[in-house]
Each structure stands twice: as structure tokens, then as C-alpha cells.
């Protein structure tokens, strides 16, 4: 299956976890991809894992929370690719703490990276997407946007905002042929959930020491197969951003093994 032959994609968070898995999936299907991440080490790892497909991969260091960095990164991506057909906003941060112990700085950091970062990437990419072929944007919401996950109020707020923004953007740009969808990962093992991600914009939750163990039980997939790998989400993202998803916009897809029903 070569759905991405001739297709030009920009993926944030491409240095680890689901973002990296998405980059590798698009490359495996013949695409040309720019992987953006705050971590140079993470991007180097992606290049290594790309193997023979590395000649169709370009990397750029981008801090999605910084407007100037986003402007420069998207411009470099569009120039190298010769345009942008698909944008995947996988960069994000997950922090957990008791709300009454959460500082304004910590709360705003999560919103800045997750929500404002997604907005900035989209805003800067829209001129290229307007000229793209079958243009599509896939944003990253979360099951936290619809289901109660204690200790994650900032994260839930950011992901709920991304989800609502996705619907608004889908309506705003429908006549211009740009599709906007979101994925809601849950019960996925990645650098974000286990804290092993190389990217500082993909940190683990660090649950409070007295966290209710019932929370951990709630996050177990109903399918009984344990947490899924990042490639599980990448496959859905690749579908949504390809021509196979041409009749899908203004909606989200939950990928959680039936954890939330």
C-alpha cells in the first residue's frame, strides 16, 4: 500500500512516540515527510529508524510553543517539500498533579504547548495547505477531553480545546477543501505516557504518590490486550491524512481499545 507516494507531510512530535511512528508509517507508504520536534536527539533517532527511506525524510527542530520557531520551521518544511498536503500535530506534553497544588505556570505550560502550539502550526501551514493536494490536518485530542481522568485538569482542558478547535476549523475551511480531524488516543504506550520520550514536549504524567489506584484500573483496555503501541495510532492517523479519509472531516476518532465505553 503506497497511499503517500507523491504526498508531502509535516509531522510534529516526530522525534518519539506516536509522532515518530506516524513519520515512519508515512515513509513506508512512499511519502516525503518533514519531522519536527524540539529534540535533536529524538529527530536523529527517527532518521536512523527510517533506514533506506531517510532520503525522503527531512528534520527540523521546532518548539511549537514558540511563535518564531513555528514560523521558521513551517517555512523550512514547506520549502523542502515544495508544499504541504498533510499536517499532523502530534507534539504535546502530559503533566499530572493535584489541581490545588498546580501552579499557574505549570497549567499555562500545558496549554501553551498542546493547544496554542497546535493553533500556531495550523495557522502557519494554512497558506501551503490551501495550495496542497487533498489537504488534511490531523490534530491530537485525547480520551481526557470526554472522560474524567483525575490529576489531569490542565491536560484535559488543552485536549478539549483542540477537539473543539478542530470542529471549528473543519467548518471554516471546508469550502477550501482542507479537512480537519482529531484522534483521541487512550491506553497507548508511548514516550508521553511512560516518560521515556526524548522530546521535552512529550513528557510523562508523573502521577502524584497518593494517586487513586482505581485510576490506573480505569485506563486498562477492555480488549484485554494491554496497552497498545504507538504504531496503532499511527495507522489511523495515516488513514485520516490520506485520500482514504477524503470524506471524513470535523470529527474525532477514539483509539483506546474500548477503555471508555
C-alpha cell belonging to residue 240: 485520516
Contact 90, 12 (CB under 8 A): yes
Active site residue 151: no
Distances in whole angstroms, Cα of residue 115 to Cα of each of 15, 91, 126, 238? 19, 10, 17, 22
Query: Exactly one of 4, 151, 155, 173 is catalytic; which is it?
Result: 155
H-run or E-run covering 58: strand 57-61
Q: How many CB atoms lie within 10 A of CB 103?
A: 9
- Between CA 43 and CA 207 the distance in angstroms is 27
C-alpha angle 112/37/101, rounded to 5°?
A: 35
Catalytic residues: 155
Amino acid at each position: 500500500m503506497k497511499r503517500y507516494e507523491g504526498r508531502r507531510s509535516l509531522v510534529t512530535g516526530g522525534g518519539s512516540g506516536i509522532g515518530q511512528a506516524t513519520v515512519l508509517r508515512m515513509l513506508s507508504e512512499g511519502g516525503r515527510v518533514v519531522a519536527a520536534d524540539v529534540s535533536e536527539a529524538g529527530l536523529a533517532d527517527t532518521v536512523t529508524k527510517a533506514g533506506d527511506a531517510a532520503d525522503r525524510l527531512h528534520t527540523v527542530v521546532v518548539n511549537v510553543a514558540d511563535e518564531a520557531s513555528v514560523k521558521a520551521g513551517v517555512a523550512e518544511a514547506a520549502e523542502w517539500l515544495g508544499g504541504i498536503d498533510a499536517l499532523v500535530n502530534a507534539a504535546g506534553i502530559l503533566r499530572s498533579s493535584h489541581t490545588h497544588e498546580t501552579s499557574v505556570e505549570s497549567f499555562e505550560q500545558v496549554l501553551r504547548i498542546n493547544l496554542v502550539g497546535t493553533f500556531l502550526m495550523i495557522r502557519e501551514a494554512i497558506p501551503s495547505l490551501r495550495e496542497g493536494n487533498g489537504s488534511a490536518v490531523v490534530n491530537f485530542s485525547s480520551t481526557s477531553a470526554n472522560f474524567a481522568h483525575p490529576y489531569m485538569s490542565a491536560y484535559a482542558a488543552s485536549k478539549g480545546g483542540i477537539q473543539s478547535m478542530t470542529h471549528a476549523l473543519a467548518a471554516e475551511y471546508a469550502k477550501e477543501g482542507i479537512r480537519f480531524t482529531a484522534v483521541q488516543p487512550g491506553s497507548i504506550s508511548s514516550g508521553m505516557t511512560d516518560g521515556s520520550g526524548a522530546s521535552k514536549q512529550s513528557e510523562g504524567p508523573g502521577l502524584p504518590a497518593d494517586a487513586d489506584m482505581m485510576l490506573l484500573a480505569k485506563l486498562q483496555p477492555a480488549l484485554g490486550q494491554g496497552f497498545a503501541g504507538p504504531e496503532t495510532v499511527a495507522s489511523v492517523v495515516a488513514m485520516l491524512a490520506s485520500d482514504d479519509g477524503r470524506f471524513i472531516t470535523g470529527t474525532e476518532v477514539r483509539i483506546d481499545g474500548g477503555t471508555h465505553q
